[in-house]
Structure 1
């Protein structure tokens, strides 16, 4: 039963993002009006959350790729008014929960505290009728990162003109994935 609800929520999220690609394209073409109206405190919180999900390692992280801006634009351009309100309210609730649990806000926490808190968000039960906040945030982060130039060229092995198929291509620990599906 829980698996069925999780699948419904994932399909709902994927459908929401895929329904309005033209709206997202317009928002991404001129992000200034939306980003200028967004509260800087919330943007800082979102920035640190996405950077904790995909930190800088041997490839640039989500913060460097500007994933936080993508999420703001995707939520504002593609989500319904109710979904937008739920997402931003859940972000604020997450910050309040972090202050209760850690004694300080997410931005002020160190890396270990941030990871611990995000794990607690991921493990928290969500109402059956709506997707879990952390799952939505994580999916938007992954989508934003791997469709960005940095994610596609630095984290993945971008090949603008695929060559021939090599059935016995040697793969070792340094081989990058070709797409975010692997």
Structure 2
């Protein structure tokens, strides 16, 4: 199975957790012409910022590592460059810069220098602004969606955050599900 098909399957399983714009990108089978790919550039610092952002969305818990450990910080830029149309690539890149500017304006520090409480507040503010503005291609929505997609399609997301059977058995529609048990990944 190729990566695009696997990501579509994960997106389908995540259902309404992903926005319609992200689902549209994945289900339209974007095969971007080469001149439309890589309209934006992400530095190593941008990937670090995205990893920290993703770790706010899915933090490390005592039961499983978070999005940063799953490599979502490099997954997000790859997906933006390779799968998203130019208008969404530019909106995402612009939103990332705006988040960094907001950190400097509100806290007089760049995003990576902020404490965890300040980062959480900043990301919460971005979420609220996104809901109020109802923008079709917002940085927050795309980054959140790709965090979920990247995490739950990673080895960590499939094997540690969810229940996993490495060797599938027969289908049992009446399988026992214990209270507090993780959701099935397979």
Q: How does the TM-score come out when normalised to structure 1?
A: 0.77
Report the alpha carbon displacement of residue 147 of structure 1 after superposing the two structures with TM: 0.4
Over 3 Å off, 4+ runs: 20-23, 125-129
Question: Over aligned residue pairs, what C-alpha RMSD do you find?
Answer: 2.5
1:16 paired residue among 25, 32, 55:
25
1:165 paired residue among 165, 172, 176:
172
Instruction: Find the aligned partners of 1:45 and 1:120 in 2 and give their Cα distance.
Output: 16
State the number of aligned residues: 160
Q: Which residue is 1:100 aligned to?
A: 105
Aligned pair in 2 of structure 1 residues 172, 145: CA closer, same or farther (>3 Å)? same
Larger proportion of helix: 1
Instruction: Find the aligned partners of 2:159 and 2:30 in 1 and give their Cα distance.
Output: 22
Instruction: Find the aligned partners of 1:64 and 1:71 in 2 and give their Cα distance.
Output: 14
- Structure 2 unpaired stretches of 5+: 1-15, 33-37
**Is 1:176 the equivalent of 2:185?**
no
- Structure 1 unpaired stretches of 5+: 1-6, 24-33
Map Cα deviations across residues 84-119 of structure 1 (whole Å, 9 max, x no partner): 111011001011112212221211111111111111
1:44 paired residue among 48, 52, 58:
48
Q: How does the TM-score come out when normalised to structure 2?
A: 0.75
Instruction: Find the aligned partners of 2:173 and 2:27 in 1 and give their Cα distance.
Output: 32
